[in-house]
Amino acid sequence: MALKRMFCLLTGIGLLFSSGVAWSAEVHGRSSTQYQWFTDYLTGNKQAEFGEYLSLSVTKIDPEGKLSIQGYGRGTQDILNGQGLNGRLYFLYADYSNLFDKADIRLGRQFVNYAAGSALIDGGKIDLKNVGPVAFSVMGGRNVIFNLDGEASTSHDYVWGISANLTGFKSTNAELSYFMKLDDAGIARDQIGGTFNQYLLNSLKVYTNARFDMTSEVFSEVLAGVKYYPSSDLIFTGEWYQSYPIFDNSSIYSVFAVGRYQEGVFRADYTINDMVSVNAGYTRQIYGDEGGDTDVYAIGTTLRPIEKVQVDLTYDYQLGYGGKLNGGALEVSYTPIAPLELAGGIHYDTYERDRATGLETARKYWLGTKYKLNKSMTASVRVEDNVNQQYKNDWAGRAVFNYDF
């Protein structure tokens, strides 16, 4: 019920500001009314629901233009299985920028992302800037947790964190941060993290991200990469990534042994001309420390034979741990007139998990269209059918009407 009241509050704010207020506040946003039908994979039942998605931005509230209000939420109504009305408020906060030209202050429900951790919170965030080569940020509040039916946060769920960011260097970015998550058992997460990227010689970028869990004393995530672009049309990418599953200290899963995942990637993207671009990549996946390896090869191209048509072709081949997969996709988009877009595609995969199951196939066929009624209104429809070992026909789709104000 609390979420439903907060979503009504978001709608009410939009109506209040858009109805003609005495000051010169500007109100912008999008109302997206949607009808979706799909299979509920938990129950196997067909599901159909109406949804209203509302985003809102109110600016120029004060004469100096420092105060703004941002919001986004949704409400959905099931019409087949009696699940009723469900609402979620994803964010609704007030943002005051450039206080004494030193601080930005944000209060309310908001998403906070630090290198050490991220969370949706009901609380506050303060960014301290223009104090030297390092800017600082601190955040904290109630940890917002969603489940299938709504919000699952308790009175003991909190997070807080702090970060320091390097500023004023055109070719260098860096962050060092700390993140703590609390629940009814005490400290659930205790993490530090950092990011760094550096541009060199106008054609090279090196970057790395790392997150360290101080309770288990392991790196939960590490990414290191390099991008080399000898020209604006050609980009080479090389990355190494490692992930080690970390659970809350109070979770029963924290006592189970888990394996480390590693991944090495090499990719090349080349735009030959306005009509043809190609890409190719190789990924080496390593599951655990017992030799569960997989090789993944992928190639693709984008073709624009005429101005109004775009064709995307992709092919991938996977062999190793978990079986063998061989498949690809064809997607075509066509714009016959400026307001109208048409698109469709076929995805086809053959795979073999093990010799006992044999060779299996999975196919997806989809069609979509989008029409721009005027500057502020668009309508779109997408329908797809999935055919695989589980479903002979699994129809899903979505019809959307968007109004921008």
pLDDT computed for residue 19 by the predictor? 45
The predicted model scores a pTM of 0.85
pLDDT computed for residue 1 by the predictor? 46
pLDDT over 90 for what percent of the chain?
A: 77
pLDDT computed for residue 45 by the predictor? 85
pLDDT computed for residue 358 by the predictor? 79
Residue 122 has pLDDT above 70, yes or no: yes
> How would residue 21 be classed by pLDDT, with cut points 50, 70 and 90?
very low
Give per-residue pLDDT as tens, 51-77: 999 999 999 999 999 999 999 999 999
> How would residue 18 be classed by pLDDT, with cut points 50, 70 and 90?
very low
pLDDT computed for residue 2 by the predictor? 46
Indicate the average pLDDT of the chain. Answer: 91
Closest CA to 144 of 115, 116, 112: 112
Give per-residue pLDDT as tens, 332-347: 999 999 999 999 999 9
- Average pLDDT on 30-41 reads 94
- Average pLDDT on 261-286 reads 97
Closest CA to 164 of 149, 156, 150, 175: 175
The amino acid that residue 75 corresponds to is: G
Give per-residue pLDDT as tens, 70-102: 999 999 999 988 778 889 999 999 999 999 999
pLDDT computed for residue 69 by the predictor? 97
pLDDT computed for residue 8 by the predictor? 54
Closest CA to 130 of 167, 82, 183: 167
pLDDT over 70 for what percent of the chain?
A: 94
